[in-house]
Structure 1
Amino acid sequence: MEKLIINIGASKDHFGAYAENVSGIYAAGNTVAETKKDVLEAIRLIKENLPESQWPDIIKGEYSIEWKYDTQSLLQHYSGIFTNAALERMTGINQKQLWNYANGISKPRENVRRKIEKALHSLGEELITLSL
């Protein structure tokens, strides 16, 4: 199964997305959910309006979508779920610095971005193994 990689980024007034490994797939929305929906609509329009011979190879068969966020977009999107205090406990990164990342005041270095990603993946792995 092929993997379509979609990058999601935040700007001052909306979110935008583009396919990293396929040309011609772009989207935007006021929220990440709207942007994801617009990506699916862009794929649908390609399939509806172009002959199959002109479709990108990835979308001709079965494929999955990997949603790839920049740090600002990720922190904005999950701000209603994770407080900066919770993220500070998970990552060890100061709340004020997390706020700066979420609001585009500063961008984290690669090692800090990986630290945030590792903390969230660790939480996800823990949650997937629990039962009630």
Structure 2
Amino acid sequence: MGNQSKTLIVVVEKADNNFSAYIQGVDGIIATGATFEEIKRNMADAIVATIEECREFGYELPEELSGEYALVFKMDVKSLLEFYNGIFSKSGLERITGINQKQLWHYASGMRNPRPEQTLKLETALHKLGEELLSIQL
């Protein structure tokens, strides 16, 4: 049996003045940051620190952190819209998602949570945009 890579879900949420993140199902590993890159870097640092601490003090390493693993970052729609507020306009998001601006405003303000179909529609549109941007060379 070969080593199989696990997927660890890192949940990113809006905190008071920045964003916080934790690994779903793994206690005690948290990170904060004002940008997505900062959260990714701080989470990677927190994982390394936890592994080193376990080795140094003889603590049991959380099973999820043994062997190969990949981090996948998950946000709720409200946090995502707030996180990228200065980058995506509601009209731009309406164009690529087909979700009207009023609905997007409700999601961003937390007044309403999107139905699962709307969440998938938003995620699919953003992933498609990301793929398009990755295929462009300047």
Q: Give the TM-score normalised by structure 2.
A: 0.78
- Structure 1 residue 104 displacement after superposition: 2.2
Secondary structure class of the residue paired with 2:8: strand
2:110 paired residue number: 104
1:39 paired residue number: 43
Asked if residue 116 in structure 1 is aligned to residue 116 in structure 2, the reply is: no
**CA 55–74 in structure 1, closer or farther in 2 if over 3 Å, else same:** same
Equivalent residue runs for 1:2-81 within 5 Å = 2-51=6-55, 54-81=60-87
Q: Unaligned regions of 5+ residues in structure 1, if any?
A: none
- The answer (yes or no) to whether the contact 1:28–1:38 under 8 Å persists in 2 is yes
Structure 1 runs of 4+ off > 6 angstroms?
A: none
Asked if residue 87 in structure 1 is aligned to residue 93 in structure 2, the reply is: yes
- The answer (yes or no) to whether the contact 1:4–1:22 under 8 Å persists in 2 is no
How far apart are the structure 2 equivalents of 1:31 and 1:87?
Answer: 20
- Structure 1 residue 121 displacement after superposition: 1.8
Secondary structure class of the residue paired with 1:50: helix
How far apart are the structure 2 equivalents of 1:76 and 1:67?
Answer: 16
- Structure 1 residue 131 displacement after superposition: 4.8
Query: How many residue pairs are counted as aligned between the two chains?
Result: 132
How far apart are the structure 2 equivalents of 1:35 and 1:77?
Answer: 12
Q: Unaligned regions of 5+ residues in structure 2, if any?
A: none
Q: Sequence identity of aligned pairs in percent?
A: 43
Q: Give the TM-score normalised by structure 1.
A: 0.81
CA RMSD of aligned residues (A): 2.3
